[in-house]
Amino acid sequence: MLPTFETDRLILRPRVMNDIDDCLAMDRDPEVTKFIPGPWHDVVAHRTFVKGRIEADFGDGLGYWSIRAKDNVKQFLGWILLIPADAIGPDIEIGWRLNRLAWGKGYATEAAKPILAHAFQTLELDRVTADIAPGNAASIRVAQKLGLSQPRKTTYHDEPFASYSMTRVAFEAELTAAHSSLALRPCAQSM
């Protein structure tokens, strides 16, 4: 069973079959799936693909989470995943997909932070990757904000992609640096 996570604005809960219609509707927006090869325009193949991903056992602590707004839990914003790369591995990938209404609000970065912490602190993974199409500037910005390293070139379904990554050592170093910078902040003096 996957854990549920909360952030300041979001609830990330394991994706279930009740989420399928929201997922399908999101994927039907050609702007949402512009950079991701898949069966988005074949209704039967698309439903079969999403159903298979919802029902799949990717291993302990791995899977998909639906992203919902804390102030409106009925509002499906998208999903985030931590699964074997291309569903077969051996690398473990983090990925995100958001409804267009959720773009530009920092939700992908906010949702990815607890998933990365889960990957490195709970699952003790050594490395996490994110394969991103070179033209997908928004996802590239998310990867950079998260501290994923400069990409190496790869392909996905014969399309050029860039594979960003983060190691557990790098994650722990960023965590330590964040705590250090917090500790060094001067306290405001009251008057």
pLDDT tens by residue, 49-81: 999 999 999 999 999 999 999 999 999 999 999
Q: How far is CA 40 from CA 52, 53, 85, 165, 170, in A?
A: 14, 14, 20, 27, 35
Residue 187 pLDDT class (50, 70, 90 cuts): very low
pLDDT tens by residue, 7-52: 999 999 999 999 999 999 999 999 999 998 889 989 999 999 999 9
Q: Which three-class secondary structure state does DSSP give residue 169?
A: helix
**Quick check: 161 and 152 in contact, CB under 8 A?**
no
Is there a domain that residue 147 lies in? yes
CA torsion 76→12→92→122, rounded to 10°?
180
Is there a domain that residue 183 lies in? no
Of residues 62, 84, 67, the one with CA closest to residue 5: 67
| 42 token code pair | 């074949």
Q: Scanning the structure block, which residue is given the tokens 């705590």?
A: 179
Is there a domain that residue 184 lies in? no
Listed in sequence order, the DSSP H helices in the chain are 20-27, 43-55, 107-117, 137-146, 168-183
Residue 180 pLDDT class (50, 70, 90 cuts): low
Is there a domain that residue 128 lies in? yes
Of residues 95, 137, 103, 115, the one with CA closest to residue 32: 103
Is there a domain that residue 185 lies in? no
Is there a domain that residue 188 lies in? no
Is there a domain that residue 190 lies in? no
Is there a domain that residue 191 lies in? no
Cα separation, 154 vs 141, whole angstroms: 18
pLDDT surpasses 50 at 155? yes
The pTM score is 0.88
Domain that holds residue 39: 5-178
Number of separate domains in the chain: 1
The CATH number that applies at residue 125 is 3.40.630.30
